[in-house]
Structures are given as structure tokens and as C-alpha cells.
Amino acid sequence: MSAVSTYPVIERGTPASRISAIAVVVIIALLAVAPHFLSAGAVDRMTALFIYVILAAMWNALAGFGGLVSVGQQVFFGLGAYFAIRLADAGLNPFASLFVSAIIVGAISWPMSLFMLRLRNGEFAIGMWVIAALAHLLVNLDRLVQGETGTSLISLNVYDAGARRATIYWLALAAMTALLAILFGLLRGSTGAAIRAIRDNEDAAASVGVRVTGTKRLLFVLAAFGIGMAGALWLATSITFQPKTYFNVQWTAYMIFMVLVGGIGTFEGAILGALLFFLIETWFGGTGVWYLIGLGATALLFSLFLPRGLWGTLEERFGLRLLPVGYRVRLPANTGDADTTAASHETTAQREKA
């Protein structure tokens, strides 16, 4: 008769997660060839979906995993589009300008983090909104932009419409895939454990040797780069640039909605939330103000009745983990399961002592 283990088992990968990893590769491969079979309108909509996934994943990384709640991330979205306009006007290939502009946004976010990360909680959130408003005003002063009249990425018009649409689609797909892969790898490593430790208790994390400021800065810059890339890609799909559109707080509101509905602090939740937002926009986006009212009401209902979002609730009730970034401690029989991270799981002896 075999003895039943009285020690917890720490696991990360599951059969479902291994199957999902294969499914992700297959889905990306299918998406890569999709422009050859989809209509022009469908290609444009799928490009928008990829951009929404980037926005949701980056805000979730900053707030859901890092605890840095911001209502001013539109500053990076707007700057990503603005620098793409500026670089293309200077003679750089318009497609190359999309990527270079994101690098510039990431570079700008580093010195910005030197003083913004000194703020905490509500101060940080409002401070980011103030920075976004200031950036909006400064961009309006550029004669190329012509104030709120705006300008266009006219250098894209020299390309055939079909080729341009497919190229932007593939760039958006590549950017989404690369950013999700970078974020996934970051969260699964020791840096990811440090990020979640800072979110849970910044002072306690610092007391055990976590480089709090450096870790937060890394997350801040990554989110800025990703959102800047999303802004540049959105510009490529719409061609026109008007500061009041790109620096509008609605972009951050969309990010918050996607993460809140999908499941804040879960890797899969941001992707699911982006997909749900995309479907809602596709079906109800033409209803005008009622569409915005519906989004607000939906967010309120989720906050009240499903605070962990759809994926967070499914994960909690059924233990479903498709893209796990943390560890799970499987306790002995009749004690249930619990999720934790590499930085915070307890041993059996510690539990008994407690």
C-alpha cells in the first residue's frame, strides 16, 4: 500500500497549458496567412484586434501585475503616432517609422519614470493623466501637426492599398506576438516574481532584496514601448493624425475596460478582454453614445459581481490555466489547491508553524 504524500507539490505547467502552447503556435500560423483569404474589411478589423490585445496586455502588465494603476497611458499612444508622423516627414520609410517611433517613446519613458515612479497609488494615476495632457499641448505647438487640425501619414499613400493593408496587418501581428512573448517570458522568470511581490507589498519586497525601483522602471518602459507601438500602428490604419483623438483619455478607458472584464492580473484575461471588447465594438460600435453607456455599465457590473473578471473567475472556480506565469501549490488530499508565485509559496513546515 503506497503512502499518501503529506507535502505540497509545486507545479507550473499542466496538460492544458502544454496543449494551449501548441494551439497558440497554430493560431499564429493561421493568422499569418489569413490576409490571403480575408476581405479587405476583415483584414482591417483583425488589425484593430491585434492593437487592442497590445493595449490590454501592456496596461495589465503595468497595473495588474505591477500594481501601477495609470489613467494617462494615452500619452504613449499619442506619442507613438506623433513620432511616426515626424519620422516619415523627415524621410524615413513609413513602415520603419512605426517601429522607430515606438523605440523613441520607450526611450522617453525612461527619464519620465525617474520622477513618476516616486508617486504612489492615486498620485501616480493622476500624475500620468497630467503628463498626457501636457504632451497633448506640446504636440499641438508643432507646425507640422497644425494644432487640432492635424496631419496625415501621406507617405503611405504611395503604396498599393492591398499591399499596404496586408503589410500593416503583418506588422501588427508580429508586434502583438513579440510583445506577448516578451511579457510572458518576463513574468515567468525571477523578474516576474519580483514584479508581483512589489505589487503585493512594496516595502516587504524591498526588505528581502528586490530591486523595487529598477523592476518598476523596466515594466514602465516596456508598457510605454508597447503602447507607443500600438499608437503608431493605429495611425497606419487610419492615416490621419489629430492630437485630440490620439491623446484622448478614452484609450486608457478602453484598456481598463478590457483588463477589468477579462481578468486583471491574469495573462489570459487581457487577451480575452481585448477579444470581448473587439466583438462589442464590432456589433454595437455604430450605436453612438449608447455604445459608451453600455461599456460603462458593463464595467460597473463586472466590478460589482465579477471583480476578478471572466478569466479570473474561471481560473478560481475550475483551476483552468492555459498560459501560467506563476506557480501552483497543490496541497495534500482534501485541502484544495492554491496559486502562488516562486517568490511567495510556503513550505508545509511554515504552514504548521503559522
Q: Give tens-digit pLDDT for 229-249.
A: 999 999 999 989 999 999 999
List the domains of the chain with CATH numbers. 9-353 (1.10.3470)
Which of 135, 106, 49, 99 has the alpha carbon at shortest distance from 223?
Answer: 106
Separation CA 199–CA 302 (nearest Å) = 22
Contact 307, 97 (CB under 8 A): no
Say how many residues make up the chain: 354
Tell me phi and psi for residue 338, to 5 degrees. -145, 145
Share of the chain above pLDDT 70, in %: 88
End-to-end CA distance of the chain: 32
Q: Collect all residues with Cβ–Cβ distance below 8 Å to 330 and sequence separation of at least 6.
A: 8, 9, 10, 11, 337
Tens-digit pLDDT profile for residues 144-194? 998 888 888 888 888 888 899 999 999 999 999 999 999 999 988 888 888
Separation CA 219–CA 205 (nearest Å) = 16
| Model pTM score | 0.88
Which of 274, 334, 215, 204 has the alpha carbon at shortest distance from 59?
Answer: 274
Separation CA 239–CA 12 (nearest Å) = 44
Contact 58, 179 (CB under 8 A): yes
Q: Which of 55-64, 170-179, 265-274, 285-294 has the lowest mean pLDDT?
A: 285-294
Q: Collect all residues with Cβ–Cβ distance below 8 Å to 24 and sequence separation of at least 6.
A: 323
Separation CA 67–CA 215 (nearest Å) = 12
> Band of the pLDDT at 272, cuts 50, 70, 90?
very high
Q: Which amino acid is at 300?
A: L
Q: Give the pairing of strands 240-241 and 9-11.
A: unpaired
Judged on CB neighbours under 10 Å (0-12, 13-18, 19+), 181 is exposed
Paired strand residues for 241: 151
Residue 5: the pLDDT is 53
